[in-house]
Structure 1
Amino acid sequence: MNPRRKKRLLFASALVGGVAAIATLLLFALNSNLDLFFTPTEVVEGREDSGLMPEVGQRIRVGGMVVEGTVERDPTSLKIAFQVADTGPAITVLYDGMLPDLFREGQGIVAQGTLIEPTVLEASEVLAKHDENYMSPEIAEAMGQTHEPMQYDDAQTGGGY
């Protein structure tokens, strides 16, 4: 093999090896930062379609409704415990921090954290979901749903449009 071809072959194989190493490291980094979304039923029973079940110690997101009457607050700190359910079994969420303003019993939430027991999630973040019919006052006013459109007469506005 001529030396020029040998050099090209070595360069091409080093380039392919480098790209493969970078892709492997990138996929490993992305996989370690991946938070899968589960419902409380899927946390307890596993996913029907794939059989995937979260393991203790895994970071996950859980979404569901806060069960009425399960919110327990520690009077001396910001610690709170509550249960989240969908249509099946509930799981317990432990959280230490400020809750969103929209958080209340019967409200939809998404909690992100680590599963410390098969049915207990230690949350690092709690997000409250607002009603899908929510509309900010500014938009509602612009659309005229809550307020009558303002009537201007030409004397107030100084003439035409």
Structure 2
Amino acid sequence: MVDKIKNKTNIDVDKFIERLKKELSINTISNDEKKKEANEQLVYCIYDVLVIILDVTHQNIISEGLYTTWLNMVKDYWYLNKYDDQFVKSIDAEENEDKNVKVKSIQVGDTTTTFADTTSQIEINGTTYNTGTIDFDNDILIEKYKKALYRHRKMRW
């Protein structure tokens, strides 16, 4: 799979993967089996995003100019599919549980407070997305990165 990716880009894929492993905390996984699975899943994520980028830009290869966009899209794809929860577990589970609730409504008279469970939501750059559900769609990534992708778009006739 890595060779397929290398054939579709001018970017140094090995350094790209190493940077993603570091930024997604895959290198911190202590269980060797889980680390191997996370590395495999990362390569699949990179390939999936590569296909999305090539489809939107109508290009045959990903150029150096799309490096940052590709990197950010892979990270968003990783988080939107909840692979971070699957492979990279938080050390403090109680702290995570507190983060999974937010105030849904507050009533001042006779004090009523309602909390909403946000375990299937993630906030990326100030935007909240539903994750790991049927609501996730590649269009979320395309819409978010449309400007950057369209700068490199080749017109089809």
TM exceeds 0.5? no
Q: Which has the higher strand share?
A: 1
From the two aligned structures, give the one with the greater helix fraction. 2
Find the structure with the greater CA-based Rg: 1
TM normalised by structure 2 equals 0.19
